[in-house]
Amino acid sequence: MKKFLAILLVCAFAFSFVACGGSDESSAPAFSNANSTPKEEPSKVTSSSAAPQSSSAAESSDTVVEDNNLITQFISWGKPYYQNIVSTISTEATSLQLNKYNEAVAAEENGVFTAGNKLELAEGADIANFAIAVFEYNHTVFGYVKKELQAVGSAKLETAVPEDGFVVVIDKKNDNKIKQIQEATATTLFFPHGIIVNTGLDAEIEKAATAPTIDGKVEDGEYGDVVWTANPESPLFSYAQFEVNNYNVNADVYMTYDENYLYLAAVVDTPDHFNDRTPDTCGDMYDLTCIQVSVMGVAPSDEYITNGAWDYRQTNRDIVDKHNLIRQWGLGVNPDTAESLKCVWMAPAGAADNSTTVNTRVDQITTYEVQIPWADLGNAENLIDIKEGTELGIAVSINSGSADKPFQVLHMRDGGGIIGINDLTKIPTITLS
């Protein structure tokens, strides 16, 4: 019976690209709220309603995930589903499930190794039974491509992991997957799911001596130094959804904090700005000009995330409704009315939103400024511990779209935990200092 249910579940994934379900209580974060009852998700949970992968989890609310193998780390390859956004699952023909993540790989297992780690096999495993694939980030195509494939029988365990890439050790039983990887071209994109590959956007933010004024302006010294600069030269941001060499969006992102609030500002320079929504109708403005901000109460490297909660499509009921561990806001401004726009795209159903935003458009500069209460994350028994050294996950994406232009997003590497399947391991780690 379980096998039959599992087959049905896989079929459901193949058609809908979306699932949700319960999680193993043993992997719950320390501040989990066991008394919370799963409820219906907000109507918008990812970046674009035009893409099937952004469907609401409510569509499959009766599904129960019994097998955590569906949310193991994996890699996939081939043409992205939607404007360089990949939507796939680990059981696809163009996916390879991974048993080990920076750990010794046993016989008949597959493993992935990231920068700073050496390839390692468990006792009894023979390198002669494995192929090795090396992948590296290519800024021209804004993605990971195959650098080398060492066939079964010629793989070398001393193969180095690229500084900006990863290496996969593949058991010989996966001969069809090995062949597909071997035949990949120089522009075939590979996607690492549930794997932290690049930490270049990780940052420390300083505590504010004086709280910023939320007024849609960033004054000198109000936030301190820029935390992130997004421009076409940066290898840490992706313009994959833009017309080649027409990268007309640049941005600086600032952050600071105090005991009560996170303060974030994004100053976006672009000639294009289209957002005709009002505060009452902005729930679908993700296809227009706006920004998305995600705040997660633990670091992406936390075991709760890497042990399965990273795939938001499948764990949203647990990570949002049960633990109130991540929230996402959409911020915008209507240039005709000068109204600031704000909506919540990830939060427990019925939860209060106590954030404050003021957003402005002057000439071709749009400034988004938001104040987010720490008390809105976590639960009443165990609030997020705001102190020096605390690690959180914070990400921003910058949406650009209009009535006559295709939806396009300037986003962080690998989607930044916002674009695509909302892979939460791709959210940068922010350390409070």
What lies within 8 Å, CB to CB, of 111 at 6+ separation is 98, 99, 100, 101, 103, 104, 105, 168, 169
Contact in structure between 107 and 123 (CB atoms under 8 Å): no
Element (H, E) at 6: helix 2-16
Average pLDDT over residues 204-213: 97
Tell me what pLDDT residue 55 has: 27
CATH architecture of 203-432: Sandwich (2.60)
d(CA 388, CA 171): 44
Q: Which of the given ranges, 188-192, 408-412, 427-431, has the highest pLDDT on average?
A: 427-431
Token pair for 262: 């996170």
What's the pLDDT score for residue 399? 93
Mean pLDDT of 332-341: 98
pLDDT tens for each residue of 30-60: 333 222 222 233 333 333 222 223 322 222 2
Of the candidates 112, 49, 396, which has an alpha carbon nearest to the alpha carbon of residue 238?
396
Using 50, 70 and 90 to split pLDDT, how confident is the model at 71? low
Domain(s) of CATH 2.60.40.1190: residues in the chain: 203-432
pTM (predicted TM-score): 0.83
316: pLDDT strictly greater than 70: yes
Q: What angle do CA 201, 207, 209 make, to 5 degrees?
A: 140
